[in-house]
Amino acid sequence: MKKAITVVVSAALILCLFAGCGGKSEGPKKVLNVYNWGEYIDKDLLEQFEEETGIKVNYKNYESNEQMYSVLKQGGVSYDVVIPSDYMVARMIDEDMLEPLNLDNIPSYSLINDKLKNPVYDPENKYSIPYMWGTVGIIYDPAKVGEVTSWGALFDKANAGQIL
């Protein structure tokens, strides 16, 4: 049975969910179930979202894609938003674990850099959208390259083959 899981790999979607939910509602309390890497969304932001919208956020963390996958594959849990890495998105698409996104419900999607859209693992952003983009670090041998003081060293032809 197809799990009712929507994958989101974009801060834009998180912000859209947080900003687009409107004010506090009357009647039954609404709940948003989020499964994410630890420390990706500040606790204060979640509290602010709950105060502004009246929507309760059940926020659970996982330590690895494999842990997240195992929990979801076993069943018995349901999340509205899950934030796996790219290779895991592809696996979850292949295993029919994801629900398609309705991009009309994500107005901030248009603000995402086009270069980050339509990745190989989800070419039409049918199941995912970018969550973040960035770099982790530079590894180099200062004896071969000298002092590296900027990211520009990565593009300096004199450093070809010397920086990872």
Per-residue model confidence as pLDDT tens for the chain (164 residues) = 334 343 333 333 444 444 444 445 456 689 999 999 998 899 999 999 999 999 999 999 999 999 999 999 999 999 999 999 999 999 999 999 999 999 999 999 999 999 999 999 999 999 999 988 877 777 888 888 888 888 888 888 988 888 77
d(CA 97, CA 114): 26
Residue 71 near residue 62 (C-beta atoms within 8 A) = yes
d(CA 79, CA 18): 16
Question: The pTM is what?
Answer: 0.67
The DSSP output letter for 150 is: S
d(CA 61, CA 139): 30
Question: What are the domain boundaries of the chain?
Answer: 11-116, 135-164
Helix, strand, coil shares of the chain as percentages rounded to 5?
40, 10, 50
The CATH fold assigned to 11-116 is D-Maltodextrin-Binding Protein; domain 2 (3.40.190)
